[in-house]
Amino acid sequence: NAGVTQTPKFRILKIGQSMTLQCTQDMNHNYMYWYRQDPGMGLKLIYYSVGAGITDKGEVPNGYNVSRSTTEDFPLRLELAAPSQTSVYFCASNEGQGSYEQYFGPGTRLTVT
Amino acid sequence: GDSVTQMEGPVTLSEEAFLTINCTYTATGYPSLFWYVQYPGEGLQLLLKATKADDKGSNKGFEATYRKETTSFHLEKGSVQVSDSAVYFCALSDGPGGQFYFGTGTSLTVIP
């Protein structure tokens, strides 16, 4: 089992550029999440999905978009990158709500200059 | 809304010392509680969890007890090792919507 995979691992963007962070899980989990982790801070939820075709905003959704066309994939789109989006991005998945643990990908380190 | 507050770091301990990292929570319902660990350059991994009041989660010598009366879930280990150096996150899941709420993390460094 690969678990949760993310690509790319590192990326440098110029201000105003766009990119998509890829996330795939092979555990048939309905719930998927995108977080950002800023230095010395906890994780902040950007978007989440409770199943294919269903997405919802988290705490910090501005500047991002998501889609969930399949159970496996949950890409995060950055439009018009800004320096404030420099962060480490983690994708996670979860079997169901409540007591189930979240499984995290290895992260994508993004720098916007 | 739901939230988690955990002890500020960083924490530096000598090998074999006793570790406590405090975590308190605010939730409207009956959340499940978790401790996650993040090693340098990696994603978060589940360390232990508890799903109801008075449950004790344990793993790799770490323990935490779900205390509803004090809304706490403190992490403890009797004798830390250098390999325990990492960032530890307390988290809760309140069920509806499947959302998780994470604390800000506590960095632990264990020196030989």
Q: What is the mean pLDDT of residues B58-70?
A: 96
Residue among B78, B73, B63 nearest B102 (CA): B73
Alpha-carbon gap, residue B90 to B67, rounded angstroms? 14
- pLDDT tens-digit series, residues A21-80: 999 999 999 999 999 998 877 889 999 999 999 999 998 999 999 999 999 999 999 999
Alpha-carbon gap, residue A15 to B64, rounded angstroms? 44
Alpha-carbon gap, residue A91 to B34, rounded angstroms? 18
Higher pLDDT, A15 or B93: A15
Q: State yes or no: pLDDT of B96 exceeds 60.
A: no
What is the DSSP track for B1-66?
A: --EEEE--S-EEEETT--EEE-EEEE-SS--EEEEEEE-TTS-EEEEEEE-STT-EEEETTEEEE-
Residue-level pLDDT at A97 = 63
Nearest CA to CA, how far is B38 from chain A (Å)?
A: 10
Across A81-85, A86-90, B26-30, B57-61, least confident range = B26-30
Q: State yes or no: pLDDT of A99 exceeds 70.
A: no
Residues of B in CB contact (< 8 Å) with A are 32, 34, 36, 42-46, 49, 51, 89, 93, 95-100, 102-105
Residue-level pLDDT at B42 = 85
Alpha-carbon gap, residue A98 to B49, rounded angstroms? 11
Closest residue in chain A to residue B33, using alpha carbons only: A99
* Whole-angstrom Cα Rg for chain A: 13
Indicate the length of chain A as a whole number.
113
Q: What is the mean pLDDT of residues B86-90?
A: 95
* Whole-angstrom Cα Rg for chain B: 13
Residue-level pLDDT at A98 = 62
Alpha-carbon gap, residue A79 to A20, rounded angstroms? 9
Closest residue in chain B to residue A5, using alpha carbons only: B43
Residue-level pLDDT at B76 = 98
